[in-house]
């Protein structure tokens, strides 16, 4: 079983107000891209959007789909860049409500499972920012199904795009396994308690799975950017400790503190990384 609607609501629908306290102003819940190292979290999040905008070769007249659009932060960027029509899909009810309430001109938000989504028309460009970590469960990976299931995702992406489409894709990666029990327990806690049903892909699995539907033209990894992003989230979470404990209870604060501290350590220690890819649709090869 991969992340179900209940899993997704557990991970993302706790409370929009809670996430608003420690994410950036626009509610990006994925790695920012620190380029100069001098940026604020907010500026680094726009860097990420710009990179993925360029990777997807978006222009204002193109119809774009953001798969796993969260609270609509990247869609807000598209509108800022003059994109006239964009769609977003999320499996989280609270995110869909929040994204719709932004009233972004030309933007339609779909609430539902991407794998059951029948788009009203084909897309010129795709973007997906760290949704693929919900596509394969740890049990499925143990059964050797990961590459087939990721390929099924990329096939669906191929089916809903027009020839000539580009895809700006970002994924959190699992690289190395820690050696000591405490670190393993913290990672297991993050997987089981914060993101049930999810699993970060390995880079080599993604490289195998994109073919024969997409080819990777460019790729950049940004482990240290994710370290800085999660460190900033942790700082903001702690700055709001009293409010969080009062409103959502000690357990929520302590769980999120443990999860974000584990993330910082995971990026510091090379257990995890993050990748951005520029993918081009293979139109002729099939």
Ligand X SMILES: C[S@@+](CC[C@H](N)C(=O)[O-])C[C@H]1O[C@@H](n2cnc3c(N)ncnc32)[C@H](O)[C@@H]1O
Would you say 28 or 281 has its CB closer to ligand X? 28
**Contact residues for 98 (Cβ-Cβ < 8 A; gap 6+):** 16, 27, 71, 72
Return the SS3 of 273: strand
Would you say 100 or 284 has its CB closer to ligand X? 100
Would you say 102 or 245 has its CB closer to ligand X? 102
Cβ at position 157, least distance to ligand X in Å = 12
Cβ at position 239, least distance to ligand X in Å = 21
User: For the chain, what is the total number of helices (H) and then of strands (E)?
Assistant: 12, 7
Cβ at position 43, least distance to ligand X in Å = 16
Beta bridge partners of 214: 281
Only one residue has tokens 């974000």, namely: 260
Cβ at position 213, least distance to ligand X in Å = 18
Would you say 67 or 244 has its CB closer to ligand X? 67
Q: What is the CA radius of gyration of the chain?
A: 18
DSSP string, 186-224: HHHHIIIIISTT--PPPHHHHHHHHTTTEEEEEEEE-HH
Cβ at position 129, least distance to ligand X in Å = 4
Tokens of 155: 């096939």
Task: Provide the binding-site residues for ligand X, judged by CB under 6 A.
Answer: 3, 8, 12, 28-30, 68-70, 73-74, 89-92, 95, 113-115, 129-131, 134
Q: How far apart are the first and last CA of the chain?
A: 29
Would you say 30 or 273 has its CB closer to ligand X? 30
**Contact residues for 192 (Cβ-Cβ < 8 A; gap 6+):** none
Cβ at position 168, least distance to ligand X in Å = 11
Cβ at position 28, least distance to ligand X in Å = 4
Would you say 63 or 69 has its CB closer to ligand X? 69
Return the SS3 of 278: strand
Would you say 154 or 241 has its CB closer to ligand X? 154
200, 31 Cβ separation under 8 angstroms:
no
Q: How far apart, in whole angstroms, are the C-alpha atoms of residue 80 and residue 90?
A: 21
């Amino acid at each position: 079983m991969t992340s179900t609607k209940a899993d997704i609501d557990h991970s993302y629908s706790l409370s929009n107000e809670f996430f608003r306290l420690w994410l950036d102003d626009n509610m990006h819940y994925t790695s920012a891209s620190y380029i100069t190292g001098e940026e604020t979290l907010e500026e680094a999040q726009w860097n990420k959007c710009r990179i993925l905008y360029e990777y997807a070769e978006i222009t204002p007249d193109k119809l774009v789909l953001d798969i796993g659009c969260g609270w609509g932060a990247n869609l807000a960027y598209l509108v800022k860049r003059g994109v006239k029509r964009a769609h977003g899909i999320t499996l989280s009810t609270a995110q869909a409500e929040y994204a719709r309430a932004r009233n972004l001109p030309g933007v339609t938000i779909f609430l539902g499972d991407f794998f059951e989504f029948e788009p009203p028309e084909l897309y010129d460009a795709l973007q997906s920012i760290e949704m693929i970590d919900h596509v394969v469960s740890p049990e499925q990976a143990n059964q050797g199904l990961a590459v087939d299931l990721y390929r099924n995702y990329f096939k669906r992406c191929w089916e809903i795009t027009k020839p000539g489409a580009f895809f700006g894709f970002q994924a959190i990666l699992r690289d190395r396994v820690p050696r000591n029990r405490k670190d393993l327990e913290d990672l297991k806690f993050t997987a089981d308690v914060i993101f049930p049903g999810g699993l970060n892909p390995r880079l080599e699995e993604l490289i195998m799975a994109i073919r024969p539907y997409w080819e990777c033209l460019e790729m950049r990894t940004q482990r240290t950017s994710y370290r800085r992003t999660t460190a900033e989230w942790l700082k903001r979470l702690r700055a709001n400790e009293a409010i969080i404990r009062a409103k959502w209870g000690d357990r929520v604060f302590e769980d999120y503190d443990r999860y974000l501290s584990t993330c910082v350590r995971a990026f510091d220690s090379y257990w995890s990384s993050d990748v951005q890819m520029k993918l081009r649709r293979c139109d002729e090869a099939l």
